[in-house]
Amino acid sequence: MIDHRKNRKVIEDGYKPKKADCKLRFELMDENDIEFMIQVATEHFVRESNLMRYLNIKGEELIERWELLIAKYILSETSIIIKDGEKIVGTGFGNVHNRTDFDQIFRGQLFHENPKFIIKDDYAEDIKNGPYKSLNLNRAVILFNELEWQTGKFLPKYTEKIGCSELISIDPNYMRLNLVYKIGMVNRQLFQLHGCTHEHAIPVATGTWKAGQKFGHRTLFSLPYNRYLENGKPIFENLHDGAIAAHSTLMDYKTDKIDESIIDKI
What are the tens digits of pLDDT across the range 6-56? 999 999 999 999 889 999 999 999 999 999 999 999 998 999 999 999 999
Any residues with CB less than 8 A from the CB of 172 and at least 6 apart, and which?
none
Residue 211 forms part of a structural domain = yes
1 pLDDT tier (thresholds 50, 70, 90): confident
Q: Give me the domain span that covers residue 43.
A: 9-265
Residue 4 forms part of a structural domain = no
Percent of the chain with pLDDT over 90: 92
What's the pLDDT score for residue 262? 86
CATH, residue 111: 3.40.630.30
Mean pLDDT value across the chain? 96
Q: How far is CA 55 from the centre of its chain?
A: 19
Residue 218 forms part of a structural domain = yes
Residue 14 forms part of a structural domain = yes
Residue 2 forms part of a structural domain = no
Q: Do residues 164 and 201 touch, judged by C-beta distance below 8 A?
A: yes
- Report how far residue 191's alpha carbon sits from residue 164's, in angstroms, rounded to the nearest whole number: 8
Residue 172 forms part of a structural domain = yes
Amino acid identity at 8: R
Q: How many structural domains does the chain have?
A: 1
Using DSSP's 3-state secondary structure scheme, residue 211 falls into: helix
- Report how far residue 90's alpha carbon sits from residue 83's, in angstroms, rounded to the nearest whole number: 7
Higher pLDDT, residue 1 or 168: 168
**DSSP class of 32:** G
**Stated pTM of the model:** 0.95
Residue 123 forms part of a structural domain = yes
Residue 1 forms part of a structural domain = no
Using DSSP's 3-state secondary structure scheme, residue 116 falls into: coil
| Torsional sign, CA 251, 253, 257, 259 | positive
